[in-house]
Amino acid sequence: MRLRDFGTTALKVSAVGLGCNNFGMRLDRAATAAVVHAALDAGITLFDTADIYGNRGSSETLLGEALGARRKDIVLVTKFGLPMDDGGRRQGGSRRYVLEAAEASLRRLATDWIDVYYYHRPDPRTPIEETLGALDELKRAGKVRHIGCSNFSPAQIDAAQAAPRQKALPAFVTAQDQYSLLAREIEHDLLPALERHKLALLPYFPLASGMLSGKYRLGRPVPAGTRLGNPRYSDRVLNDANLRIVERLEQFCAARGRTLLQLAFGWLLAKPLVASVIAGASTPEQVRQNAAATGWELTPDEIAEADRITRR
């Protein structure tokens, strides 16, 4: 597994990271442990979770248990900000809640520090300076090493990055947003904002919720038990236009003796801002497939052809 620079930080991370949103939902304690151990054996060093994953907390708990003494060997990423109760109190970016959320995540993860702590979604009710001030307290206490944002607009990123220069607050060093061959909306204005501020990008849904896994075919039923059997995901990406693009991408890969999985990862890893690609997995075999799919370093001509096939 190749290691890559994590933006402007001193961290090194595996080219493919493990997305842990299945833990505590689709995967129980034993299945989670099997996936985590397979990832460690494959050389994966970036583990991405959030307090909200696993029905509000189970993902962090199961990940912490599975890592055990191996916690020190990995880069641990988690997030805060989305609702952790039904009453609307445990959410957002207020100082009170940020400090509370961090302590809760540390307990569930059974660790003393979080390597990268992401603001999962901006809170319009709280000034960004207040949130950054709370994150500064966590950094000074050694509980958080680096901070990032997720699902921010370009204007929100600009505002967030201006605040540290004015008030001696910590700055975001990374962003986490949806990006894949089939979801390229961030190229219009978000990627330029990340470039302006030198933020490392962790793209999520790199396989477009499975569309780029090779499991789905035009005119065939959706395989049972897959993510796109859930309308929450299928309504976004499962359509004839995308299935036709996938067919052309598969032909492109076959002509070069490559797989669609290799293309999906290789195309993203060719982007200078991308530090690692977050890929979820529900079995150890899926982890091993993801880890093995990072060897295709696309040429400029191959990138241009993939862009041409997928351009809307």
- Tokens 């499962």 sit at which residue? 238
Neighbours of 251 (CB within 10 A): 10
Based on the residue annotation, tell me whether 233 is a catalytic residue of this protein.
no
C-beta separation of 44 from 97 below 8 A: no
Residues 53, 97, 117, 216: which is the catalytic one? 53
DSSP E strand boundaries for 209-261: none
Give how far Cα 202 sits from Cα of 12, 80, 130, 155, 283, Å.
13, 16, 25, 19, 22
Catalytically active residues are 53
